[in-house]
Each structure stands twice: as C-alpha cells, then as structure tokens.
Amino acid sequence: MTVRRRDFLATIPVALASATAFARQGDVNEALRAFLQPYVLNRSTLDQFLDSKAQVWAKFDPELGYLLRNAFVRDGVDGCHTLARYQKSGQRQQVNFPDQPCRMNTYGDSFTQGHQVSDGETWQEILAAHFCEPIRNFGVGGFGVYQAYRRLLRNEATDQSAKYLIFNIWGDDHLRSVYAWRWLAFPDNAIESMSGTMFHANPWLHARLNDRGALVECDRVPRTDAPNPNAAVLKKSRRSPTDEWSAQRGLTAHVPAPRLCYCRSSSKKKLLISPIEP
C-alpha cells in the first residue's frame, strides 16, 4: 500500500482530531494505548533501521534521529527509478565540479534533498552546472525546520562549512520541528508504506515554546533499560508518554502554517532498494 504525499499530509489533522475526541470519551491512558496500537513497531523494522549494512532508506543518527543511505527507489516520474547516493560527509553525491572548492551549502527537507530525482537531477546540480561551481546538498527527507537547523550547526562547525548557506523551508516543516516522535502524527493509512524499508520517523531533537513564549530545545528520547523496545521509544526523561502525546497534538493544532507555496509532482511509490557502495 502506498500513499501520495499530498493525501498523506491532508490526513494528519484528521488523525490527530480523532485521537483527541477519543481521549475525551474515557480514561486518557486507555485512549493513549488505543491510539498507539497502530504505531507499534515490529522488531524487524527496528533491526533493519539499526543495521549499518541493511538495504533500507534511512540509518540511525543519535542526534538528528536519522540520516539517509544510498538507495535505488521507484518513485520518479511515470514510475521510473531514481538513484540517490551519499558521501561519507552525509551530503548527496556531487555530480558537477566535485573537485572544485565549494562556496554554497544547502539544508532542508526532501525538497532540498531532491527526493524522487536522481543525483544529477537535483536543483543543486542544475544551479551548479549554471554557476560552474559545486553546491553541496545536505537536505534530508522528513526533516523539520529545527532538525535541519541542527544539522546545519553540526556541519558548519566542520571543514565542510561554506561561505553561503541556502536553507529551504516547505509546507509543514514547522510542525515537524515540535514533534518529539513524528511517527505519532502519521495517519493509519500511511503506517504501512512508512514502515519496513522506508522507516525513518524515530525520536529526534525538537523544539517547543514554553509558557513565556521562549524557545526550548529538547533532547531526543533517552536510552532506557526497559525490556520492550517500543517502551524504550516512549519513555521520556521529564514527561510521561501521556503528557508528550497531549503536548504534541495540542501544538499541532495551534502552530500557524507558513505562507509558502512549492509544487512537486507526486507519484505512487513502489520501493526497490538495492545495495550500492559509495
């Protein structure tokens, strides 16, 4: 089962509203268990995600939640396959002028990453061909504004820093910034397509506003000795799963959407990932 990007985004508010209504009908703990049931991960999904040699789309990162792996995916125009490769630094494979000094780094979500197009077809490579100089691509599909910002801070402190930065923000990236566990925002009809080889919505660093309106930067879910791997994902250091669930759906309802417009074709995805060495 696959879900078009536009349809997937449209169902998020509906899923959160349904969970809110259910919680008001009875005990919040029972509502929480019922809400979480579709989102329980199976062990094989977690094992693949943590396996450095697995042929899956994303890999675990202790700070940012995840980064991307080399992949050959059938998600392009008219059902064609796209090739995405990544260098040791984490940037997408450079095609134009890779041996030249770089003055520009780009950060953002899948629109920056160039999901659904191959390495030489990203907008960075088109600009690089026009400018006759390389442009690095550090975009990651699924990242919010805050997660992309943290990647920028981490990367710009290395020898991969650049004089000029392009930070791309798309439609719901502001909502992703406040999610402690974005997996809980996915509607039921997206869980199947986002599980297995495409799983990537694990807990990550995120940001919130406190009662005074000040920005609070929050750690990811910490490690725990709980025997159940799903319980380990849910355990928070300073708040209960119930509090986190309530806060996450409450923030979603009150954060205004940015006034942005960015269009990209959406095609049905059929995943096919093959091993590709960097």
Predicted local confidence at residue 242, as pLDDT: 45
Convert the pLDDT of each residue in 28-87 to its tens digit. Answer: 778 888 878 888 888 888 899 999 899 999 999 989 999 999 999 888 899 999 999 999
Share of the chain above pLDDT 90, in %: 43
As a whole number, mean pLDDT of residues 213-224 equals 72
C-beta separation of 119 from 143 below 8 A: no
Q: Which of 65-69, 136-140, 185-189, 238-242 has the lowest mean pLDDT?
A: 238-242
What b-and-e string marks burial along 210-241, b requiring 16 or more CB atoms within 10 Å of the CB?
A: eeeeeeeebebbeeeeeeeeeebbbbbeeeeb
Residues 205 and 219 sit within 8 Å (Cβ to Cβ): yes
Higher-confidence residue: 239 or 143? 143
Give the list of residues 6+ apart from residue 130 with CB closer than 8 angstroms, or none.
none
DSSP-assigned beta bridge partners for residue 46: none
CB 84 within 8 A of CB 119: yes
pLDDT band at 261, cuts 50/70/90?
very low
pLDDT tens-digit map of 175-189: 899 988 888 888 877
Q: Is 121 helix (H, G, I), strand (E, B) or coil?
A: helix
The single residue listed with the structure tokens 């049931």 is: 37
Give ∠ CA 155-108-130 in degrees, rounded to 5: 90
Opening angle at CA 63, ends 67 and 202, nearest 5: 65
CA distance 43 to 49: 10
What is the pLDDT at residue 95? 96
Cβ-based neighbours of 134, under 8 Å, separated by 6 or more: 94, 96, 97, 98, 100, 101, 102, 104, 128
**60: part of which helix (H) or strand (E)?**
strand 58-61
Residue/partner pairs of 236-244 with CB below 8 Å, 24 or more apart: 236/180, 241/32, 241/36, 242/28, 242/29, 242/32, 244/180, 244/181
pLDDT band with cut points at 50, 70 and 90 for residue 107: very high
Q: Could you tell me the two tokens for 30? A: 């029972």
Q: Is the pTM of this model over 0.75?
A: no
The confidence score (pLDDT) of residue 209 equals 85
pLDDT over 50 (residue 116): yes
Cα–Cα distances in Å, from 15 out to 68, 185, 252, 253? 27, 7, 11, 12
